Chain A
Amino acid sequence: MCLVLSSVQSQTQDKTWQLSFKPLFNEQALVLDSVYKVNNDSIVIETLRFYISNIKLLDESGKIVYTEKKSFHLVDVSHTNSLVIKLPVALKQSVKTVKFDLGIDSITNVSGALGGDLDPTKGMYWTWQSGYINFKLEGKSNLCSSKKHEFQFHLGGYVSPNNCLQTIELPILNTNNQVVNLDVFKFLSDINLTQLNHVMSPNQEAVKLSELLVKCISVN
């Protein structure tokens, strides 16, 4: 009986591969609501949430070997569990690349009310204009000229030319658990926060910032 159990357990373990998101602030693990003193500025990150969708695994020739079904994940730094995406797949040696979207595709954006991580109660859906918010970063920086020095970046938009969806391809360096870093300090330090501290609708600024986000993602 014990033998059976342990073999079942090891089987399920083997059949899981993890994609883990690690939010960073200046190369250190990000802690929400803590005050970061950097370059004569004082920065607080209050909210960081984003959608990861459409996860695929590719082999060395670029052929898709695995596609996650109903692949929509809301990653929210305030919910530790949401940082880890478990895929029910045993990773073969030949699998070299993971591919996913940062945000929600246009078909899903026009498909009406959806559930699970896509439920509008999750606070990632605009109400005055239809569409998902792909990425939400909120906090404070002394550089912001806004009220209470707040910044709010709600990036989204699914209609061209303001389509913010970013497709990301990363090499797989770990066969059990691939960690994906997202450094928000890197993101903020590339923005002139004095002038630009609120982006909350689909526009060209949101597209630029979405492209900037991709540069803040890395694996190790």
Chain B
Amino acid sequence: MRIILSSISILLILLSFKTSEPLFSVPKQWPKPNYNFKLNPLSPEKVELGKVLFYDTRLSKNNTISCASCHSQYSAFTHIDHALSHGIFDSIGKRNSPALMNLAWQKTFMWDGAINNLDVQALAPISHPSEMASSIADVVNKLNTIKMYRTLFYKAFRDSVATGENTLKAISQFMLTLVSANSKYDNVKQSEASFTEQETHGYQLFKQYCNSCHAEPLFTTNEFANNGLPIDKSLNDYGRVVISQNPTDSFKFKIPTLRNIEFSYPYMHDGRFKKLSEVLNHYTKGIHQYQNVANELKQPIVLNSNDKVDLIAFLLTLTDKEFVFNKKYSFPNKYFQ
């Protein structure tokens, strides 16, 4: 009897190992994450709560806009077809909503780096009058009137009362799990797939012209750069300088990742380009030579039309369908019926 019992328990333990996928892991050959997980250790219950909050429109003033409204999974957690963010009461913001992925490696957030930690990132859209037009205090008060959240907060934090700290930490936890590292590019790097001739040529061009800012494997250096976009006079967006107040940061914006770029159109901080071909045309013949334009863009980049097609073929190998269609990130139906 004892033997049977102990073998059943061993079997159960083995099964639980087999079924429990880690909530977060660092992909092979990737750098150490920047996020301090010690201050907010992941748990399945906290991630789950964060996911429900991410998809809940009650985080906005009039219960119409959720985080997912501008960061939808099928577009790699950005808002396609919207050059500028589209918020409450049909408001239009000033910038293109960024695609959310691999946030544990990001050092600062927003196009101008205004936010210093993922935990406090959600405060900006929650409070912005053109986005969710609420405040974290109002959100927490509202959550505390909803029975479902009492259970979810208790499961996550052993305290059924929502606080600003726990609400923000839970949202962070869900966002931290949004890791995209299973594109064709990644498979090639793991010797599980190979590039076509066209993609190989595109990759060579990428390494020659793009890699210094969009560095592998994250396809960004997390730095800020002036990439020579002429100013849009209707927005007058001066970028990083507004935050740093350092004149050398004028017209500098965060270098975005190129992963899942197939899904995250339109492109640039103001969403001015709808297609990748327009982006490449900007880099070959549209650079406005500001004094502080990125060094790499001071000399003209010459690409013929075949080169451009091949480079785009490579960029499309950064598509991670598993990420975009993974059900574990999807709308948690059962909480909203």
Instruction: Tell which of A85-93, A123-131, A136-144 binds the partner.
Output: A123-131
In the complex with contacts A112-B40, A113-B172, A162-B245, A130-B165 CB distance below 8 A? no
Q: Chain B: interface secondary structure?
A: helix
| CB of B127 to closest CB in A, whole Å | 4
Most buried by B among A113, A123, A129, A162: A113
A123 to B136, CA, bound (A): 9
Q: A171: CB under 8 A from chain B?
A: no
Q: A203: CB under 8 A from chain B?
A: yes
Q: B126: CB under 8 A from chain A?
A: yes
Identify the closest chain B residue to A114 (Cβ): B165
A115 to B162, CA, bound (A): 11
Point out the residues of chain A lying under 8 angstroms from B36, CB to CB. 111-112
In the complex with contacts A120-B136, A127-B126, A162-B245, A112-B39 CB distance below 8 A? yes
Point out the residues of chain A lying under 8 angstroms from B46, CB to CB. none
A110 to B243, CA, bound (A): 15
Q: A54: CB under 8 A from chain B?
A: no
Most buried by B among A119, A120, A131: A120
Q: A109: CB under 8 A from chain B?
A: yes
CB pair B163 A115 closer than 8 Å: yes
Point out the residues of chain A lying under 8 angstroms from B289, CB to CB. none
| A113 CB contact (under 8 Å) in B128, B164, B245 | B164
Q: Mark A93-122, 1 if CB is under 8 A from B, else 0.
A: 000000000000000011111110011111
Q: B83: CB under 8 A from chain A?
A: no
Instruction: Tell which of B52-60, B116-124, B268-276 binds the partner.
Output: B116-124
Q: Mark B118-144, 1 if CB is under 8 A from A, else 0.
A: 111001101110000001110010000
CB pair A203 B126 closer than 8 Å: no
CB pair B120 A112 closer than 8 Å: yes
Q: Interface residues of B, CB < 8 Å — how many?
A: 28
Point out the residues of chain A lying under 8 angstroms from B168, CB to CB. 112-113, 120
A111 to B40, CA, bound (A): 10
Identify the closest chain B residue to A112 (Cβ): B119
Point out the residues of chain A lying under 8 angstroms from B123, CB to CB. 120, 125, 127
Q: B169: CB under 8 A from chain A?
A: yes
In the complex with contacts A120-B123, A125-B120, A128-B127, A111-B39 CB distance below 8 A? yes
Q: B179: CB under 8 A from chain A?
A: no
A119 to B172, CA, bound (A): 15
| CB of B280 to closest CB in A, whole Å | 33
| A112 CB contact (under 8 Å) in B117, B126, B127, B135 | B117
CB pair B117 A120 closer than 8 Å: no
| CB of A55 to closest CB in B, whole Å | 22
Q: Mark B138-152, 1 if CB is under 8 A from A, else 0.
A: 001000000000000
Q: Interface residues of A, CB < 8 Å — how many?
A: 21
| CB of A15 to closest CB in B, whole Å | 29
Identify the closest chain B residue to A115 (Cβ): B165
CB pair B137 A121 closer than 8 Å: yes
CB pair A120 B128 closer than 8 Å: no
Point out the residues of chain A lying under 8 angstroms from B163, CB to CB. 115, 119, 121
| A110 CB contact (under 8 Å) in B116, B165, B172 | B116
Most buried by A among B126, B168, B172: B168
| CB of B138 to closest CB in A, whole Å | 9
Most buried by A among B124, B164, B168: B164
Identify the closest chain A residue to B127 (Cβ): A127
A128 to B135, CA, bound (A): 12
Residues 19-45 of A contacting B (Cβ, < 8 Å): none
CB pair A113 B127 closer than 8 Å: no
Q: B205: CB under 8 A from chain A?
A: no
CB pair B164 A130 closer than 8 Å: no
| CB of A185 to closest CB in B, whole Å | 30
CB pair B117 A110 closer than 8 Å: yes
Interface residues of B (CB under 8 A from A): 36, 39-40, 114-120, 123-124, 126-128, 135-137, 140, 163-166, 168-169, 172, 243, 245
A-B contact pairs, 25 of them (CB 8 A): A110-B117, A112-B36, A112-B120, A112-B168, A112-B169, A113-B172, A115-B165, A118-B165, A119-B163, A119-B164, A120-B136, A120-B164, A120-B165, A122-B137, A123-B135, A125-B123, A127-B124, A127-B135, A127-B136, A128-B114, A130-B114, A130-B120, A131-B116, A162-B245, A203-B245
The 6 closest A-B pairs by CB, nearest first: A112-B119, A121-B164, A113-B168, A115-B165, A113-B119, A127-B127
| Known pairs A110-B116, A112-B40, A113-B119 / 18 extra A-B pairs, C-beta < 8 Å | A109-B116, A111-B117, A113-B168, A115-B165, A118-B165, A119-B163, A119-B165, A120-B165, A121-B140, A121-B163, A125-B120, A125-B123, A127-B123, A127-B127, A128-B114, A129-B115, A130-B115, A203-B245
